[in-house]
Structure 1
Amino acid sequence: MKNVLICASMLGSLATYAQKKDTVNTKSIDEVVLINTYIKKDSEYSNKMPLKAIENPQVYSSIDKVILENQGLYTVDDALKNIPGLQQMWTSNGRAGDGGAYVSLRGFVSANSLRNGVLGAVTGTIDAINLEKIEVLKGPSGTLFGSLLSSYGGVINRVTKKPFETFGGNISLAGGSYDTYRAAVDVNTPLTKDKKLLFRLNSAYTNEGTFQTEGFRRNLAIAPSLSYKPTDRLSINLDMELFQMKNMTDQTFFFYSGSYLQKVNNIKDLNLDYKNSYLGKDLTNTGRSINFFGQVNYKISNSITSNTNFSTSSSYSNGFMPYLYFMGDSADSMYRSDQSTRDSRKKSLNFQQNFNGDFKIGNLRNRVVLGFDYLRVNNNQNFYDVNGFDKNSQGESIPVPLHQSGFDYTNFNGSALQAQYNAMAGKEAPYLISGIQENYAVYLSNVLNITDNLNVLMALRVDNFTNKPDITVADKKKLNQTFFSPKLGVVYELIKDKVSVFGNYQNSFKNLDYYINASGGTATPVPEQANQLEGGIKTNLFNGKLSSTFSYYNIKVKDVLRTAIGASNPRAQVQDGTIVSRGVELEINAYLLRGFTAIAGFSYNDSKYTEADASVLNRRPNTSGSPYLANLYASYQFLDGTLKGLGFGVGGNYASENKIYNAVDGVFSLPSYVVLNASAYYDAKKFRIGVKVDNFTNQHYWIGYTTANPQRLINAVGTLTYKF
């Protein structure tokens, strides 16, 4: 049964496979297919070794590709709405280095940085065409993933589709609201008769318009994959990803200090025209991410395996990044500006070697990973600013009216902006990020089964970080730091393979640059670090038909740099800041009635500065997102009769108020929201028809990362897929 399911998953059409005459009962495999759609999946990546969810001391969530298909989702950004405790903060804009989407996890900002457990950064929209599933590992994960690829809130890992031994695939076309149209292909074929050399290609092109007056996105994704297995012990995988994006960046409002905060404290108070982009034409940007991956797996013995990984990541961007902002006295006017990139690039290289062992010492089972990790980052990022699009006769930035009838906001356009840059030629003062970062690390992790029901995880990482900035660009100094990052986890299975209680201590860290101290000198920082204590319970009941995780966590970040109050230099800092983030999370995956499935989650996060400037002391950081989040998706599929293959579902997300500016001089918030989505599909042997309607209540809602970004109104997309 297990082998049949694996093959069916690889074919990408489990329901179709279930219709084939096999030794397995058709009705039985249909049920298992639906269970596998929603139950908690075991992970090989959360601790760099295979661990069942019930015996894993770390909390993680996963989204299977069938969920994406049933909900009609084709980007990672949209898929992440199914993750409890995760909130989208910033949509991708394609800018080299930092242009990817950002989310909030456990009160901290996180991004998509991992692919199959190694570096796989993408700075544009990440198409899900080549994904088997998405995993989100919760909490500080620096011990096994390092500081450059993880955040204090967690890690997002993309698990990709692999080639398989038979010819097959599908072609799909989609179209819908706001000039949305899409073409995608997934084709797999063996290249040799002995089926040792296999090839798979996933590719998609998507065009999306906007509900506002200006805006668009055009995304191209190409992801070929080649696998070669010369012997039973040795396998080699080679992959490439190309994500190319041309877009006009989403409307973005920034909010800075000013007396206007005494007049407004919520985005609704500004009475903005939700459908007006307040921008003109041709403010476009071109971004590109190219990733290459190589993996060699070798079985040294029955108990020891070697896993060698090599990856490169390259991002490029060129074009405009317009933005709007508020500051000063008036809430009835706004400023307009831009931060462009020109031939901006960031390149990274990651080499990782892991040795995994599964053996006994005496009567104690040991599951061990010993790893070496090398990461090199080359920065050549170039940012340009016109210092305000609208200026007075003295060249000072001035605001424009927000509610003046007939005001021409379209004069802020590509031609006018380029003219300003041309006029500044030779007098520009660009912000450049240039230099090399290198990181060497060795880590050791062991899961020790003290009894059949009790296991203890112990791990340690030794990390050496070197920052070599280009001193011709900025007044920087070389930095060399070594840091130890431990991890401890305990799991006791109250009922074997069904109910477990767990606890963990997890650590992560961040290497900081030299800073100016209160006396005006240059100070060497120690690495900022986060320590998490977490405990909870996991269940896996009714043969996997009901799985759940409930946990409480407490994360303390210390040695945070903050402004040195009273210092003569306004750039002066002191390294004694502290942030505490604590909360609870609940996730439930259920298949209790035949054909009916549900995934649900709830989280509460309480974050605040406990040591900080007086302006923000005991306040929630403005990047922490909403304290309360909830998600739900329920679906039903007919498994018998004339309606067999027909399915439909409904669900949505709730987020409480989000304080994107939170200080003594004022608070500015984005309101709470409930967004509801629905989908329906019919899955037959040779084709599939699907339709989704997102935000069907036409909710006006905003997301933000110290910003306000309006989100799509009601929209529908239909998809037709042909299988071969």
Structure 2
Amino acid sequence: MRKSTVLLGLLGAALLSAQTTDSIKENTIDAVILNTIVKKDTESSHKMPLKFIENPQVYSSVDKTVLENQNLFTVDEALRNVTGLQKMWNATHRSGDGGSYVNLRGFIASNSMRNGMVSPVSSTIDAINIEKVEVLKGPSATLYGSNGASYGGLINRITKKPLDHFQGSVSLAGGSNDFARVQSDVNVPLNRSRSLLLRLNTAYTTESSFQNAAAKSHYYAFAPSLLWNVSDKLNVLLDYEGFESRTQAEQNLFFIFSPSLYGYKDMYDIEKLGLNYNESYISEGLYNTGRSRNLIGQINYRISEKVKSTTLVSSSYSYSDGYNPYFYITTESYTPDQTPLGLYRGDQSTRDSKQKIFQIQQNFNLDFPIGSMRNRVLVGADYMRSNSDQLFVYGIIDFVPLSGADYSGFNKETLANFYESGAYGSYPMQSIKDTYSAYVSDVLSVTEQLKVMAALRFESNDFKGGVIGTPVASYNQSALSPKLGLVYEVIPEKFSVFGNYQNSFKSNGYYISDASETLVLSDPETANQFEAGLKTNLLQGRLNATVSYYDIDVRNSLQTVGYTSSNLAIQDQMATLESKGVELELNAYLVKGFSVIAGLSYNDSRYKDTADETILNRRPNTASSPWLANFSANYQFLDGRLKGLGMGIGGNYASANRIFNTTTAQFELPSYLVLNANAFYDQERYRIGLSVNNFTNEKHWIGYTTANPQKLRNGALSFTYKF
């Protein structure tokens, strides 16, 4: 089915005649660069039309043009262009929690939103259907609720929409680590009036692990969208994305205790001890099968010139079944007993695991004057049901030294025999939660220069109970989430100062409060952010920049303070966390053909109140690197003999990430500077792209209290035929 669908898409692209121009022919390349890389006006981030300069919230966006220039194929890769974002965890492809995780402003976030609806993907997300990726900074529950946004922000994928003319492209790509890819993007009107439009994006990718050439993963993406323009006032959009994968897990290194107890400071020291950066420590055959299906139906109806209705219905489904190997760096006794450190090799498989999410959302946008003041209003309601039916089975297989051993024994046959023996543990997750929400947001233009935003959301979470390892009782919790924003355009449409207050919350359910295993319903955890800064939109829109300072205060967090006799965590709801920092983002197109994306951020996160004195006033071990920087400079010849030739260089810097940080134990993932280069030659009918990532061959680890080695030098060459 997969292969036939890809071939069908490619065959259809080849048979359709090249009768319509490419989008770049409709605009000058100069305008394309300016509009897609520099300008940041958007309607999607606040569910209402707001210019970048008048928006009181900080956000970043990465357009598909950036991905094309950098020769990138996944959303994970695209996010390296976002200021203040650091990848923490690669996708494991497990249902429910298998997607990649990043850090924003000191908090873990996932890529769970698509076109404003909760649409998680448990695999590496193919970018074939991406128009742009928007990242909103700070707690954003007022508009998006507690289920899709972290306290640091949220990631919203904006997908390609059908166009009113025929166009398409077919691409082939190949590169390092047996990377091979075929993709197509075909847009075609289905009737003479061009009121019914279809766009089909497909891609198939294979790639080997840089640590194990025999472990080849396969990814398939199928993303059609259908638009029916019923009238000038009414249109209906169906937008689907399906991802399938067959993957062998990337190396995830966990820790029983901090290696600093042995005098080791960071992962470089563990390498000196014997850990081989290029060794997978497992054999082949340990694959996981994953699937994600997201369908959104959208009805847009313009009731009048001042009132617009948007109705959205979304269905999301993920599935996984298979192996998920992982490792502990520890001693054979699991304790720091001064014996040599080695690896416990284990597995946490999923068996026929599923997660389903159904969501209905209704929004009304109003734009009307109050006297001489423009007033933009959003009124909305949302219902979401989340249904989890997952089963994890797990166990430790063996203990091996860090070097000098035969590691081929950890394979499919070994794990099959282990699970057949019945010696494994199991952890079921079966639950249903209904979430009901209503919200309103108002932006009032008091004067041409002064804009005031006020918003409020009411959300009720009705947890039906179920099993999360052990039986969990039902509960119902509600919360209000307010938001205030103020923008003053010192120079209209060119320079503004802004401030905002944003709120978010989370229901943590029940926790065990004492050694007798007494269950207590926790109060909602809350996050409040105060932020101030400035924005510029200078030189006829060729330079936009944001400088901001934020302070996020999180209260009512659960914290482990001990364990029961049955090894269950005893928790206390008292932890208070403060996360504050500074961000600078720059997008510029100062010289014809030359564009720059750059950013610098610093984050200071600390526990301010906690039962654990060893972490008081210390940075959480999940808060990522304090200092982050990103840049990308690209030049494209727009005239002369070299017209269409482009080249660029970019990179990401991260300071050391302390994944153990107590008064008695500190251990780091080292700082890194990863540099990338790209080149392309873009013509009317074809495009050639080249990328070399990590061209200095920098060893670097990411980690969410873990250590996950990342790819060394790798490259890809692509060829695209456009019609």
The TM tier, using the shorter chain, reads over 0.9
Task: For 1:437 and 1:565, locate their aligned partners in 2 and report how far apart those are by CA, in whole Å.
Answer: 29
Task: For 2:22 and 2:661, locate their aligned partners in 1 and report how far apart those are by CA, in whole Å.
Answer: 49
Match of 1:682 in 2: 681
Q: How does 1:480-491 map to 2 (within 5 A)?
A: 480-491=476-487
Match of 2:16 in 1: none
1:12 Cα deviation after fit = 9.7
Q: Which of 569, 572, 580 lines up with 2:570 in the alignment? A: 572
The answer to whether the 8 Å contact 1:681/1:688 transfers is yes
Task: Report the number of matched residues.
Answer: 691
Q: How does 1:630-709 map to 2 (within 5 A)?
A: 630-709=629-708
Match of 1:395 in 2: none
3-state SS, counterpart of residue 412 of structure 1: coil
The answer to whether the 8 Å contact 1:515/1:525 transfers is yes
Task: For 2:515 and 2:451, locate their aligned partners in 1 and report how far apart those are by CA, in whole Å.
Answer: 51
1:475 Cα deviation after fit = 2.8
3-state SS, counterpart of residue 296 of structure 2: strand
1:34 Cα deviation after fit = 1.8
Task: For 2:35 and 2:176, locate their aligned partners in 1 and report how far apart those are by CA, in whole Å.
Answer: 31
Match of 1:287 in 2: 290
Task: For 2:704 and 2:216, locate their aligned partners in 1 and report how far apart those are by CA, in whole Å.
Answer: 21
Paired amino acid for 1:217? S
Task: For 2:590 and 2:613, locate their aligned partners in 1 and report how far apart those are by CA, in whole Å.
Answer: 52
Task: For 1:260 and 1:325, locate their aligned partners in 2 and report how far apart those are by CA, in whole Å.
Answer: 15
Change (3 A) 1:110 1:233: same
Paired amino acid for 2:248? M
3-state SS, counterpart of residue 368 of structure 2: strand
The answer to whether the 8 Å contact 1:270/1:332 transfers is no
1:357 aligns with 2:385: no
Q: Which of 312, 317, 321 lines up with 1:314 in the alignment? A: 317
3-state SS, counterpart of residue 37 of structure 1: helix
Match of 1:373 in 2: 382
3-state SS, counterpart of residue 475 of structure 1: strand
Change (3 A) 1:414 1:624: same
Match of 2:440 in 1: 444
Match of 1:222 in 2: 222
1:476 Cα deviation after fit = 1.2
Match of 2:109 in 1: 110
Paired amino acid for 1:51? L
Match of 2:248 in 1: 248
Paired amino acid for 1:350? Q
3-state SS, counterpart of residue 68 of structure 1: helix
1:41 Cα deviation after fit = 1.7
Q: Which of 546, 549, 554 lines up with 1:552 in the alignment? A: 549
Task: For 2:652 and 2:425, locate their aligned partners in 1 and report how far apart those are by CA, in whole Å.
Answer: 43
Paired amino acid for 1:524? L
1:389 aligns with 2:402: no
Match of 2:85 in 1: 86
1:229 Cα deviation after fit = 1.0
1:527 aligns with 2:524: yes
Match of 2:533 in 1: 536
1:339 aligns with 2:348: yes
Match of 2:414 in 1: 416
The answer to whether the 8 Å contact 2:92/2:250 transfers is yes
The answer to whether the 8 Å contact 2:367/2:374 transfers is yes
1:615 Cα deviation after fit = 2.6
Match of 2:459 in 1: 463
Change (3 A) 1:221 1:472: closer
Change (3 A) 1:259 1:498: closer
Task: Write out the 4+ residue segments of structure 1 that deviate beyond 4 Å after TM superposition.
Answer: 11-14, 565-570
Change (3 A) 1:472 1:610: closer
Task: For 1:374 and 1:12, locate their aligned partners in 2 and report how far apart those are by CA, in whole Å.
Answer: 42
Paired amino acid for 1:576? M
The answer to whether the 8 Å contact 1:187/1:200 transfers is yes
3-state SS, counterpart of residue 69 of structure 2: helix
Task: For 1:296 and 1:260, locate their aligned partners in 2 and report how far apart those are by CA, in whole Å.
Answer: 57
The answer to whether the 8 Å contact 2:515/2:563 transfers is no
| Deviation per residue, 1:583-617 (Å, 9 max, x gap) | 00000011111111111000000111111212322
3-state SS, counterpart of residue 97 of structure 1: coil
1:164 Cα deviation after fit = 0.9
Taking only aligned residues, the RMSD between alpha carbons, in angstroms, comes to 1.6
Report the identity percentage.
51
Task: For 1:283 and 1:619, locate their aligned partners in 2 and report how far apart those are by CA, in whole Å.
Answer: 39
Match of 2:6 in 1: none
Task: For 2:179 and 2:563, locate their aligned partners in 1 and report how far apart those are by CA, in whole Å.
Answer: 54
State the TM-score, normalized to the length of structure 1.
Answer: 0.93
Q: Which of 478, 483, 489 lines up with 1:493 in the alignment? A: 489
Paired amino acid for 2:348? Q
Match of 1:23 in 2: none
The answer to whether the 8 Å contact 2:386/2:432 transfers is yes
Task: For 2:260 and 2:413, locate their aligned partners in 1 and report how far apart those are by CA, in whole Å.
Answer: 32
The answer to whether the 8 Å contact 1:306/1:355 transfers is yes
Match of 1:276 in 2: 279
1:82 Cα deviation after fit = 0.2
548-557 or 203-212, larger mean C-alpha shift: 203-212
| Deviation per residue, 1:433-464 (Å, 9 max, x gap) | 10101100000110011111001100000000
1:166 Cα deviation after fit = 1.0
Q: How does 1:586-665 map to 2 (within 5 A)?
A: 586-612=584-610, 613-665=612-664
Match of 1:170 in 2: 169
Q: Which of 426, 431, 435 lines up with 2:427 in the alignment? A: 431
Task: For 2:421 and 2:549, locate their aligned partners in 1 and report how far apart those are by CA, in whole Å.
Answer: 56
1:17 Cα deviation after fit = 3.9
Q: Which of 473, 479, 502 lines up with 1:477 in the alignment? A: 473
The answer to whether the 8 Å contact 1:40/1:61 transfers is no
3-state SS, counterpart of residue 35 of structure 1: helix
1:513 aligns with 2:512: no
| Deviation per residue, 1:112-169 (Å, 9 max, x gap) | 1111111221110111111111000000001110111110000100111111111111
| Deviation per residue, 1:263-289 (Å, 9 max, x gap) | 322111112211111111111101100
Match of 1:24 in 2: none
Paired amino acid for 1:173? L
Structure 1 residues not aligned, in runs of 5+: 1-10, 19-28, 391-398
1:31 Cα deviation after fit = 2.0
The answer to whether the 8 Å contact 1:595/1:636 transfers is yes
Task: For 1:290 and 1:566, locate their aligned partners in 2 and report how far apart those are by CA, in whole Å.
Answer: 39
1:565 Cα deviation after fit = 5.6
3-state SS, counterpart of residue 696 of structure 1: coil
3-state SS, counterpart of residue 470 of structure 2: coil
The answer to whether the 8 Å contact 1:695/1:714 transfers is yes
Paired amino acid for 1:512? N
3-state SS, counterpart of residue 187 of structure 1: strand
The answer to whether the 8 Å contact 2:187/2:200 transfers is yes
3-state SS, counterpart of residue 389 of structure 1: strand
| Deviation per residue, 1:226-266 (Å, 9 max, x gap) | 00011111000001110001110111101122676333221
3-state SS, counterpart of residue 430 of structure 1: strand
Paired amino acid for 1:525? S
Match of 1:213 in 2: 212
The answer to whether the 8 Å contact 1:260/1:331 transfers is no
Paired amino acid for 1:60? Y
3-state SS, counterpart of residue 569 of structure 2: coil
3-state SS, counterpart of residue 411 of structure 1: coil
1:472 Cα deviation after fit = 9.7
Task: For 1:81 and 1:181, locate their aligned partners in 2 and report how far apart those are by CA, in whole Å.
Answer: 22
The answer to whether the 8 Å contact 2:428/2:467 transfers is no
Task: For 2:469 and 2:606, locate their aligned partners in 1 and report how far apart those are by CA, in whole Å.
Answer: 35
The answer to whether the 8 Å contact 1:323/1:338 transfers is yes
The answer to whether the 8 Å contact 1:235/1:297 transfers is yes
3-state SS, counterpart of residue 664 of structure 1: coil
